[in-house]
Amino acid sequence: MKPLFIALLGLLCLQSPAADQPSAPKPAEKSAAPKPYPLKTCIVSDNDLDSMGEQASFEHEGRVIKVCCKPCIDKFRKNPAKYLKKLEGK
């Protein structure tokens, strides 16, 4: 009886539910580094980046965007196309 039990246990281990499930997705490859910000001024207000204290930066569609203050982030996100025009040709 023991050899039969051991054989069945071995078969169960080979047919574990994990074997039937698709493999977990592979981690996404690191995307290319975002494009650097080419301006020396805030993309929203046109002020110097350090004019309002600590500047803020974030990534938008693969490009680093820098603003003079955190409120400018919200202004940018409301109408990014308006501000991204400033980067054309840069």
The string of pLDDT tens digits covering residues 2-50 is 666 566 656 666 655 555 555 555 555 566 899 999 999 999 999 999 9
Give me the pLDDT at residue 47, please: 96
Supply the range of the domain harboring residue 52.
33-90
Tell me the whole-structure pTM to 2 decimals.
Answer: 0.63
The helix (run of H) or strand (run of E) holding residue 80 is helix 80-84
More confident position, 11 or 60: 60
Instruction: Report how many domains make up the chain.
Output: 1
Strands 63-67 and 56-60, sheet pairing: antiparallel
d(C-alpha 55, C-alpha 81), whole Å: 21
Give me the pLDDT at residue 32, please: 82
Whether 28 is covered by a domain: the verdict is no
Strand partners, 58: 65
> What mean pLDDT is predicted for residues 77-83?
96
Whether 18 is covered by a domain: the verdict is no
Give me the pLDDT at residue 88, please: 85
